[in-house]
Structure 1
Amino acid sequence: MRELRAYLLLAPAAAIFTVFMFYPLAYTVYLSFFDWNMTRPVKKFVGLANYISIFTDQSFGKIMGNTLLYIVLLLVMNFVAPYIFSFVLSFVVKKGKSFFKSAIFLPSVISLVVGTMIFVWLLNPLSGPAASLAKALGLSVPIWSNTQGLVIVVISVITSWKIFGYNFIVVLAGVSSVPLEVVEAARVDKIPTWRIFWNIVVPMSSSTGIYVLILSIVTGMQQVFTPINMVTRGGPDNASTNLVYAVYDQAFGFFKTGTASAYAILIMILFAFLLFLEFKYVEKGVYYEN
């Protein structure tokens, strides 16, 4: 009877997961084996042809490279940088902490669409503030949206600007929980500040850090679609296209539902691989108090 009651209590959550997660995932796997444009009444079974077409596409290598580069940049800006800011604000800055917290968190409540438009204006190579400042210094601002390599960096900055504040607040909570007496004892022993950060603060707040690490990758890859779609549309020559945008482009640009589904499965495999690495090499070193 108690087991039945437990299953009944779990049933609503299980039903929600089935409808909104497991069924869409299973249907995406199913569609990846078909050729369908979302309008034809009949789907044509093609087996692994969609996957083969992806791996043999000349642009696939660039798309995967862009995806991995996005992840690295997002981790630097949304995981490493929040840790440094949190440490400085917790143990170095003495005054104005509330102001800095509010100022850093503010972009998180602003729409990413609005944020993208702000950055497009700021970095306008002809009439934006950055162009005006560069002109005064005798320099010029490149057309970043058409520059290979630079476009990824700028789009990553736009995305990071949006999600940095939330990650910062979460990391700050973890860093602030590090006992102050431990840090003060290290200072008394004249331990360099960088070693206090690396050998004390980071390990003792790693349980929060592992959460932010995963959150940075997942949220960053979700949010990065907006600036790509608004500004570059994946260009120039797929220079800003990643796996997430490739799904949208194949589904709603070329109406290749099977290929889009195959790309979606590749994203799932990539995230599963990253989680495997995280649990195998990172999780075992996490410090959990008590």
Structure 2
Amino acid sequence: FIPSLFSLVVGAMLFSWIMNPVSGPVAFFMRGLGLTLPNWTNSGAMAVVVICLITNWKVFGYNFVLLLTGLGSVPQNIIDATKMDSIPKWRMIWDIVLPLNKSIAFYVLILTIVQGLQYVFTPISVITQGGPYYGSSNALYHTYLNAFVLYKTGNASALAIVTFVIFLVLLYLEIKFVEGRTNRYE
């Protein structure tokens, strides 16, 4: 859970140092194996992978706590009944635990998407500035770039509205599938 307490700037700088192709610990380890670490900031695909690692590192602990709480909310009498009936553990997980945690898993999915869209801005800004050739950029960074660097406010406004609509759709899905299910069983 500790990485969720760190600033994204600190996380981005830490990963930049760890993944440094010349003097980083990963490059040192790979040199010992006879391999070389490519310059990931010059490759759009590899930069996106490292940026995804940074954001996943940031949200993993919080999502883990939410999912663990969901698993802890499975009634113990149901688990005891499956043990008494000699039901295999994989069957108990597949037929009982997962369906009872479907709403929390969907909530974590929506939260991760929203956090991913929100948190990915800082590593892009700190490490790659959207490069190379906008290969590591996303809609939020393009909105910022159009509004405050290129001064194309019309494009920035359109991108902001599209992003707002995406967030509204995610909010609707969260309310429909998560909030609606919890109220139905009460």
TM above 0.5: yes
- 1:131-156 per-residue CA deviation (whole Å, 9 max, x = no partner) reads 01111111111111111312111101
Query: After superposition, where does 1:180-259 map in structure 2 within 5 Å?
Result: 180-187=76-83, 189-193=86-90, 195-259=91-155
Q: Which residue in 2 is equivalent to 1:162?
A: 58
Q: Is the 8 A contact 2:104 2:178 kept in 1?
A: no
Does the CA-based 8 Å contact 1:107-1:165 persist in structure 2? yes
- Structure 2 Cα separation of the partners of residues 144 and 196 of structure 1: 43
Larger Rg: 1
- Partner in structure 2 of residue 143 of structure 1: 39
Work out the CA distance in 2 between the residues paired with 1:119 and 1:184. 45
Alpha-carbon distance change, 198 to 245 in structure 1, aligned in 2, over 3 angstroms: farther
Deviation at 1:271, TM superposition (A): 2.9
Q: CA deviation at 1:278?
A: 6.0
Pick 1 or 2: higher relative contact order, CA cutoff 8 A, min separation 6.
1
Instruction: Find the aligned partners of 1:124 and 1:198 in 2 and give their Cα distance.
Output: 42
The aligned length equals 184
Superposition pairs for residues 77-96 of structure 1, below 5 Å? none
Please give the root-mean-square deviation of Cα atoms over the aligned residues, in Å. Answer: 2.3
TM-score, with length taken from structure 1: 0.57
Whether the 8 Å CA contact 1:203–1:286 is kept in 2: the answer is no
Residue 203 of structure 1 deviates from its aligned partner by 1.3
Q: Does 1:112 align with 2:20?
A: no
Q: 1:125 to 1:187 in 2, by over 3 A?
A: farther
Contact 1:210 1:286 in 2 (8 A): no
Q: Distance in 2 between matches of 1:187 and 1:237?
A: 57
1:206 shift after superposition: 2.3
Structure 2: state its 5+ residue gaps. Answer: none
Q: CA deviation at 1:119?
A: 0.6
* Counterparts of 1:229 and 1:134, CA distance in 2: 27
CA distance in structure 2 between the partners assigned to 1:177 and 1:128 by the alignment: 43
Task: Report what 1:41 is aligned to.
Answer: none
Deviation track 1:166-191 (CA, whole Å, cap 9, x = no partner) reads 12112211111012343344456342
